[in-house]
Chain A
C-alpha cells in the first residue's frame, strides 16, 4: 500500500440557524485513486466534521441526489474523482441558481413545481384497457423520445442555465425536456394541451441557447435540443392560431 495522498477540499458552509452569510471551510482529506468526491465528503462527515450536510443516495449516478458545483462546474459528486483535482484541491459549493437550505443542500421545490407543470403523463388518443395489452411502439418510434426519457432530475442543467438564474420563473431545461419526451412519444396525444407551457415567455422562449445545460448533463438528455426544436413548433402553433383562432 503506497503512502496515502491528501487533498484540500474547500466547502461552502451555511447554517440557517446561526449564519447570516455562507462562508468557506477547508478540510484536508486523505484519499486513494478510486475515491469519488462524494466519498471525500463522507470522510469529512464521518471523521472530521459531522455537521457537513449534503444529499446523496445511490452512489452510481442514477438517483440524481448528489449534484454540486465542483470548482465552479455543476457535476455529480458520486462520479467525479478526487484524483482529478490533485494536487490543486477543489472547491465544493451547492448548485448555483438555487437557494441554499444548508451547506451543500439546495431548495428543489421550484423544480418539483416545474416538473408538475408540464403534464408529464402519457395521454393516448384512444386509451386501451389492460386486457387489450400494451400499445405497439417500434424501436424507431422509441428512438424519437428515448434520450429525453433518461433525465435523472439531478438539476445540473438548472445550475448551468443563466436564464434560470436570472429569472426563476423560467420553466427550465429538465422540465421542458420532459415535456418534449411526452410530445415525442408516439403513444401520446396531448401535445396540444402542453402548448401553453411551450409557448409562454418562460417556456421555450425563455431560452437563449446558451447550451451549457446539454454540456453538463450526465445522461446525454440534451435539453437544449428539446427546447430549441420546440421553438419551431411554437412558431408554427402561433401562426396556425393566428389564421385559425383556437376554440374556447
Chain B
C-alpha cells in the first residue's frame, strides 16, 4: 500500500474539481492539495457540455427572475436559500472564467453575448459557441497548472473513502497504470465525481459517469438525496444518445413529429407563435419536453430510425451562417454519427438520460452529513435543481459551488486534527480486500450484469413510472446485486492498467445507486418535475411530498427511504406553467 500524506483530496478533475482546487490553492497557499482523477482532467465529462452557463447579465434581468425560473423549473423541490446564493454568484464566476481566458462568444461590440435557454424567462446563458463545457474545462485545467500546491494524481481510481471515528480521514485509490493500491491520508475530501447516468442504456453521458463517488459516500452512511430525479435531455441522437444541445432551440430550432407537426403545442407549451420566445414551446423545461415525446411515441407519431423512435429537430430556417457559427459541434456530430446535414435536413432526436439531479446532500457551504466530506457539482444535491434542472444552471453550478467547496474544505483541512497515518493505512488495507477478491473471483461477465441493470432501469424507472414497473425494477436490481456479490468473471487478472477490473468495481457502485433510484422513485407517490407517474399519482402532492427523498444504504438489504424538509424562502409553491402569450419573437442577436 503506497502512502501519500496530503491535506485536501479532491476526487474528480472536471469543472467542479478544478474550480475547487484553484479556489483552495488561492485561499490557503500552503495547503497540500491532491487532485485525484480516474482520467486525465481534460477528459472529464464537463468537456462534453455544450449549451452554456447561466448568469444574470442584461440590464433588464434580475436575480429574482433567475431565482424564480430555477425554483419553478425545479417544481419547488429546491432549497431556496441555496438558490438565492447561487443566482447571486453566477456572474462573478463567469467573469472569472473570462479573465482566465475562456473564449465566450461575443456581440459585435466586444461584450459577452447571452442567449435564451429552456425554462429561462430572460436571456442569461453565457456561451462559447456550442462547446461551452469544453472551453470552460480546458481554461480551468490550463489555469490550474499555474498552482504548484495542486498535485495531480492522473489516472488514479478512487475506490473507497476512509472513515474513522465518524469523519473522513483519507481515500483509497488504485494507481491505474500499475494496479498498486494507494492511500491518501488527508484532513478533508471534496467529491466532484459527477453523475450516474450510465446506469441507463440510452444516455448522453461519457463512460466515466458511473456514480461511484456517490456510491462511496452512500456506503459510508451518507444518504442519497432526491436520487429518483433523473433528467432526460429531450434531444439526443437515437441509439448512441449523443447530445444535441438545447442551444439549437435557444437559437430558434423547432421539434416536429412524423407528420411535420409541432406537437409541443398539445402539451401546454403553446401557442405556436410568436417564435422563438422564452419558456414556451421548444424552450420549455426539459422534463416537459421529454414527457411530450413519450406521449407522441405512444400515439405512434414518432419516426422510426435504426437507433429507435425519434422526432425531428429542424434547424433549416436558421440558415447556414448561424448554424455554422453558433452550432458547429452539433452540426459535425449530426454529420458524423447520422449522416445528416443540419443545414438541409432535420436531425432525428429522442430523449436520453443526461443529468442526475439528486446526489450527496450538501448545504450552501458544500458540507455533507459526513464531517470532513464536501461535495460539489453533479454528484452533489446542493439543492438548486430540485425535481428538474434548467439547462445552463449546471455549468454555472460547477464554478459557483466548486469555489465554495474548495474554500470551505481548505479551511476545514487547515484546522482539522489529523488521524494517525498507521490507522488510516490499516483501514485502507481492509477496504482493499474485497476489491482484490473481485479481481480473483468468478461468476458472470461484467457486461451481462451491466446490460441487465440497464434494461431494468429503462423499463421500470423511465420517463414515466408506475408502481408495478418500479416494484419489478426494485426486485430485478436486488437480484442483480446478489448475483454481483457472488462474484464476477474477469478475463483480465493482471494488475497493470486493468480496466475490466475497474469497470467491475464501478458496476458494484452503479447497482447500489440504481437500487436507491428505484426505491426512492417508488416511495414518492406523486408526480413532480422529472418524476412522473401513471398509476393514480399523476398530480403533484405538496402536502405529503414537498419533501426531499433520502435513501440510506442497507447493505445487502434494500435501502431505507426517509424524507426531509425543503427550505422555502421567497417563493411559495404554485402551479408550474409554461407556454402562454408574448408580444413578439426574440432572437439572440
Question: What residues of chain A have their CB less than 8 Å away from a CB belonging to chain B?
Answer: 15-18, 32-34, 45-47, 49-51, 53-65, 79, 101-103, 105, 108, 112, 115-116, 120-122, 124, 127-128, 130, 133-139, 141-142, 145-146, 149-153, 178, 182, 185, 187-188
Contacts and interface: CB of A to CB of B under 8 A. Distances in A.
Name the interface size band of chain B: 35 or more
B396 interface: no
A134 B81 CA distance: 28
Contact of A134 (B112, B207, B445): B112
A58 B145 contact: no
A50 B491 contact: yes
Nearest to B332: A61
Contacts of A115: 142, 145
A128 B154 CA distance: 33
A101 B497 contact: yes
Given A16-B496, A34-B337, A62 B101 contact: no
A130 B45 contact: no
B110 interface: yes
B154 A112 contact: yes
B206 A58 contact: yes
B48 A63 contact: yes
Interface string B318-342: 0000000000010011001110000
A62 B329 CA distance: 9
Contacts, number: 158
A62 B131 contact: yes
Given A121-B101, A121-B145, A149-B135, 19 more contacts: A15-B494, A32-B306, A50-B492, A50-B500, A53-B500, A60-B48, A62-B134, A63-B206, A112-B40, A116-B145, A121-B146, A134-B111, A136-B109, A137-B110, A138-B106, A138-B108, A139-B106, A149-B103, A153-B138
B99 A79 contact: no
A65 to B, nearest CB: 5
A136 B96 contact: no
Contact of B43 (A57, A138, A149, A187): A57
Interface of B: 39-40, 42-45, 47-48, 92, 94-96, 98-101, 103-104, 106, 108-112, 131, 134-135, 138, 142-143, 145-146, 154, 177, 206-208, 239-240, 242-243, 306-307, 329, 332-333, 336-338, 445-447, 490-492, 494-500
Contact of A63 (B42, B100, B445): B42
Given A60-B242, A137-B106, A138-B108, A65 B45 contact: no
Contacts of B47: 58, 62-63, 152
8 contacts: A51-B500, A64-B42, A103-B497, A112-B154, A121-B145, A128-B99, A182-B101, A185-B101
A17 B134 contact: no
A50 B491 CA distance: 5
